[in-house]
Amino acid sequence: MLEIIGLSKHYGDVKAVTDLNLTIQGGEVFTMLGANGAGKTTTLMVALGFTEPTHGTVKLCGIDITEQPLEAKKHVAYVSENVMLYGNFSARQNLDFFTRLSGQPSQDAAHYDPIMARVGLQREAFDRRVKEFSKGMRQKLGIAIAIAKDARIVLLDEPTSGLDPKSGAEFLELLDELRDEGKAIWMTTHDVFRARVIADRLGIMVEGHLVKTLSRDEFQEADLERLYVEYVERPVLPAA
Ligand SMILES: Nc1ncnc2c1ncn2[C@@H]1O[C@H](COP(=O)(O)OP(=O)(O)OP(=O)(O)O)[C@@H](O)[C@H]1O
Ligand SMILES: [Mg+2]
């Protein structure tokens, strides 16, 4: 459902991503670990069509993000630490705006109530301006947008950073549900503990290279933290 094919992204001399190949299926959570500056966010920026690849392609539900950006973007929702929302709009207005932007038909205002409740936003926040929201509330609204858009691909960039333990656990439960609904989910995180809980497959990115992918069976057996450190400290072989 999400296909990254031979993707490289250079910013001048900086090789942020080098020859990345990765497919994420519907019903799968892929979690990407990697040091600061490893190229995780850059990969997402390309996949979302915010920046163009230097080489390679990204396909969302078979549609090339560079060739047909508007069509491709309908299938993807993005949740980041700094979820892009309109501060002067209420939660409900943001939901309606982004849902319609993705080509979904207009809905009654009440349509969004169960979605906001499902992600754990308090009722008193439904019609409050988003600029007054805490980080956790913004992240919850981000996932509400993903649900309302019914995007088949959900990309999350450190979505649980800064969430309190209860909200973090609830967030993972939501991801579990989305996986059960057949979404293809990519999550970057620095939280090895949460990665282990939620991931079906896990990747380690070092200096723009995807140096290792592990299946659930493989990483459940392993001391993930130690493995991660080993890979991050090992010299990266240049791509063939
Ligand atoms: N717009 C940009 N212009 C120039 N260089 C950039 C730009 N965006 C990212 N980079 C560089 O690309 C590299 C990868 O950055 P990226 O943000 O993808 O890392 P990351 O893995 O998401 O790190 P973190 O864990 O800190 O979020 C870094 O060297 C960064 O400085
Ligand atoms: Mg990042």
Residue 240 pLDDT greater than 50, yes or no: no
CA pair distance 115, 113, nearest whole angstrom: 5
Report the nearest-CA residue for atom 19 of ligand 1: 37
Q: How many angstroms is it from 50 CA to the middle of ligand 1?
A: 14
pLDDT at 91: 96
Q: What pTM does this model have? A: 0.92
Name the band, by pLDDT with cuts 50, 70 and 90, for residue 237.
low
Closest C-alpha to 53, from 6, 3, 2:
6
Cβ of 41 less than 6 Å from ligand 1: yes
pLDDT at 109: 87
Name the band, by pLDDT with cuts 50, 70 and 90, for residue 238.
low
Mean pLDDT of the chain: 92
3-state secondary structure of 80: strand
Residue 80 domain-assigned (yes or no): no
Cβ of 82 less than 6 Å from ligand 1: no
Total domains in the chain come to: 2
Question: Could you say which of 151, 180, 195 is where a domain stops?
Answer: 151
Pocket test for ligand 1, best of 4, 9, 10, 11 (most atoms within 8 A of CB): 11
Residue 229 domain-assigned (yes or no): yes
Q: Which residue has the higher pLDDT, 103 or 188?
A: 188
Average pLDDT of the segment spanning 9-19: 96
Residues 54 and 158 in one domain: yes
Cβ of 11 less than 6 Å from ligand 1: yes
Q: Range of 224's domain?
A: 1-75+154-240
